Chain A
Amino acid sequence: MTELLQNLLLGLLLGGVYALAASGLTLIFGVMRVINIAHGAYLILASFITYWLWDSFGIDPLLAIVITTPIVFALGWVTYKVVVSPIRTAPMASTVLLTFGLALVVEGAMGEIWGNNSTAIRPSYADESFIMGGLFLPKAQVYGGLIAVVVLVLLWGVLTKTWLGRAIRAAATNPSSAELVGIKVSAVAALVFALGIAAAGAGGAITGVLYPFVPGSHYQWIARLLAIVVLGGLGSLNGAVLGAIMFGLAETLTSAYVSPSWATAVPYAIVFLVLLIRPQGLLGTRLREDAVAA
């Protein structure tokens, strides 16, 4: 029983970090219908910026989120204006290709700046745990999970309780009508893209503390994050959180009770099964055009 509880807790902590990293990806898709393949690259970029702040100035890597996130937000805004904006309304395949190219450029830039050797952020608590009974809760995971919850609640608050959030949801639901009531959809899109990248930035600051990384680590992240948002339902923030927690639990429980060699495969099998039953994902909405296509 203790072992099961231990594995459930480890899975939930893992899922919390996945949720934060995936939230921006689903937000960007929800409003802009852009599948941002460069999302993982921005996550790793945030890890490197966090490393730089920690290594050069001694700033605690998790507290550094308040610096990292605005930097990555600004990078996201510039990226949107320079690269994404010209093809925002192009077919989805174009945006996939573009953001894949963007991911390669960001990877190359990180390699030039920080080198291609493995980097680890190890604050004093990195390898310590809270011990409760027979259970251990890694401190970095607990702090990271708590920060993920705070950031996700803030994001949810912005989307549901503010005028900006209403504008974002209006632009996502019906861009033409949103323009008619005075919402500048292109400005909202820029803001959403930057917000989505900033969420990846917060996630990257946390994952940088949890796992060593190289510029090429973004491939592993984008594969997981895409699976999570597809499982939850593309465009659904709540779906991304649910998908992330399911993914984290599936990885952990498979590793513990089936075999570690299946731990990275079983979650994808679950995604496959869910999509067979609910093609729109767990909390996704099936649109009229989807029904026509089906």
Chain B
Amino acid sequence: MSHVSLRRAWTAMALTGVLALGLAACGGDDSEGGEGDSSAPIRIGSSLPLTGEFSQPGQAAKQGYEVWQKMVNDAGGLLGRDVELVIKDDASNQNTVVSDFNALIGQDKVDLLLGTFSSLLNLPASAVAEKNQMLYVEPAGGSPDMFNRGFKYLFFTQQATADKQGKVFAEWVAALPEDQRPKTAAYPTLDDPFAAPNVAGIQEVLEAAGIETVYQETYAIDTKNFDTIVNAMKNADPDVVVHGAQFEDGIGLTRSMLKAGFAPDMFYETNAPSFGAQYSDGVGAENTEGVLYAVSHSPEADTPGNAEFVAKYQEMFGTDEVPEDAADGFAAAQVMQAAVEAVGSIDDQGALADWLRENEVDTILGSLSWDETGAPTGEFLIGQWQNGKPEVVLPADVSTADIEIGWKPGASG
């Protein structure tokens, strides 16, 4: 190294040191609020997939969090303090989400955390929260793998874990009269900690009911072309297809089925059909008739605060359609709010977790409760596209329409 560059290096190091000291001094007075300042806003941090593969749910969850923030602040805040959201974009990347949550805790010094979207991202993100002993309430992330790690601060705020999400559908199929019950089934599945157990849970029930598996394959997340998979399924000729999907792959596989002229008697798909207009635009509204899926929220549901949430969402975002994932985000924040208000403080996050383990919380998704692992103990709704719009068809006591047997592409729109 030359003398000149050596001198520059020392100068740079000195400047860096001065900057670091300055920043430390700035941070020392805790002027942005935090534990010591009872009038400053409560800062709630999250990192969401606002771009990349999971941007649909990520964007919707952000909207859900924002609706909750607006409603809470309008009602006087949380513990009398305004709520401020600090939301980063993890770009659907597992490494980025870890960096983001570390930064939220270590640099941004947020007071509370809200989870991200997809099991894939919540798996590493929740580990960061657990290590820092911070409550981690997640709106998605229902993989059973989330809950076998002995975590104390993790809570999933939908009705059931992924392996049980299709249970209501599977039990309905198994209970169909002999002449209406499918004889054979195909299970194409994304290699994903949410989709795979979801499909496995349904397959277990259907096989127990004597429905033969004629196709079962897992594909990688970067699969773009589904023609070969569909060609193989078509040759196997199943009566029912149960597809473990996120979003883009759900659209891709359905379009390949249409191109191949393959329409099984019954078509159940995870996730993608719950995306409303985005889904019907993707596969064509005329091809949605009869598609079945699990869903956590219905805008028409008579649950506490649901009408207010739907109205506020429509007011803030200027659309009649309320994405399920926005509702899930809102419900996660409701759960966190309930714990904070019940405990009366945010200082002891262990106490917040203990309270959630011992209590039920009323949310727009219904009443939620959790076992020791933070896994919810309820049941999902089953949705179905009918006449170009989504309906809740199971369980019967909360349904908005009767369930119809059969996928009829080209029939509605």
Question: Which A residues have a C-beta under 8 Å from some C-beta of B?
Answer: 3, 6-7, 10, 14, 107, 111, 115-118, 120, 122, 126-129, 131, 136, 138, 140-141, 210-216, 219-220, 223, 251-252, 255-256, 259-261, 263-265
Contacts and interface: CB of A to CB of B under 8 A. Distances in A.
B229 A211 contact: no
Nearest to A107: B51
A115 B252 CA distance: 20
Contact of B223 (A131, A215, A223, A264): A264
Contact of A211 (B252, B260, B278): B252
* 8 nearest CB pairs, A to B: A127-B258, A260-B219, A116-B55, A216-B52, A255-B228, A138-B259, A120-B282, A264-B220
B402 interface: no
Interface string B249-265: 00110010011110000
Contacts of B247: 118
B223 to A, nearest CB: 6
A27 to B, nearest CB: 23
Task: Point out which of B50, B51, B258 has the most chain A C-beta atoms below 10 A from its C-beta.
Answer: B51
A243 B258 CA distance: 29
Given A210-B225, A264-B220, 10 more contacts: A10-B228, A120-B251, A122-B281, A126-B284, A212-B251, A216-B52, A255-B219, A256-B228, A260-B188, A261-B191
A214 B260 CA distance: 25
Contact of A111 (B51, B224, B248, B255): B51
Contacts of B52: 116, 214, 216, 219
Nearest to A248: B225
Contact of B231 (A10, A212, A219): A10
A127 B219 contact: no
B207 interface: no
Contact of B284 (A127, A131, A136): A127
A18 to B, nearest CB: 10
B91 interface: yes
Given A212-B251, A252-B228, A264 B222 contact: yes
A3 B191 contact: no
A117 B92 contact: no
A118 B220 contact: no
Nearest to B247: A118
B227 A10 contact: yes
A219 B52 CA distance: 9
Given A127-B287, A260-B188, A260-B223, A214 B259 contact: no
A171 to B, nearest CB: 35
A214 B51 contact: yes
B191 to A, nearest CB: 6
A264 B278 CA distance: 27
B171 interface: no
B183 to A, nearest CB: 23
B232 A256 contact: yes
A220 B222 contact: yes
Contacts of B363: none
15 contacts: A7-B228, A107-B51, A111-B51, A117-B278, A118-B248, A118-B278, A126-B255, A211-B225, A211-B252, A212-B248, A214-B53, A220-B224, A255-B229, A260-B188, A260-B218
Interface in B179-227: 188, 191, 217-220, 222-225, 227
A136 B261 contact: yes
A256 B284 contact: no
Contact of A6 (B53, B188, B225, B231): B231
Given A118-B282, A127-B284, A216 B91 contact: yes
Contacts of A211: 224-225, 248, 252
B117 to A, nearest CB: 13
Task: Point out which of A131, A136, A213 has the most chain B C-beta atoms below 10 A from its C-beta.
Answer: A136
B231 A256 contact: yes
Given A126-B255, A127-B284, A131-B261, A3 B235 contact: yes
A216 B251 contact: no
Interface in B51-82: 51-53, 55-56, 58-59
A216 B55 contact: yes
B278 A116 contact: no
A251 B282 CA distance: 24
B59 A260 contact: no
A116 B61 CA distance: 13
Contacts of B53: 214, 216
Contact of A265 (B51, B220, B228, B259): B220
Task: Point out which of B92, B222, B227 has the most chain A C-beta atoms below 10 A from its C-beta.
Answer: B227
Given A6-B231, A128-B259, A136-B261, A118 B225 contact: no
A255 B233 CA distance: 12
Contacts of A259: 217-218
A122 B284 CA distance: 8
Given A122-B284, A136-B259, A116 B231 contact: no
Contacts of B281: 120, 122
A263 B56 contact: no
Contacts of A263: 219-220, 223, 228
B284 to A, nearest CB: 6
Contacts of A261: 191, 217-220
Contacts of B284: 122, 126-127
Contacts of A140: 259
Contacts of B252: 211-212
Given A127-B284, A216-B92, A136 B260 contact: yes
A110 to B, nearest CB: 10
Contacts of B217: 259-261
Task: Point out which of A111, A117, A215 has the most chain B C-beta atoms below 10 A from its C-beta.
Answer: A117
Contacts of A255: 219, 228-229, 232
Interface in B32-60: 50-53, 55-56, 58-59
B235 to A, nearest CB: 6
Contacts of A141: 227
A165 B260 CA distance: 42
B261 A129 contact: yes
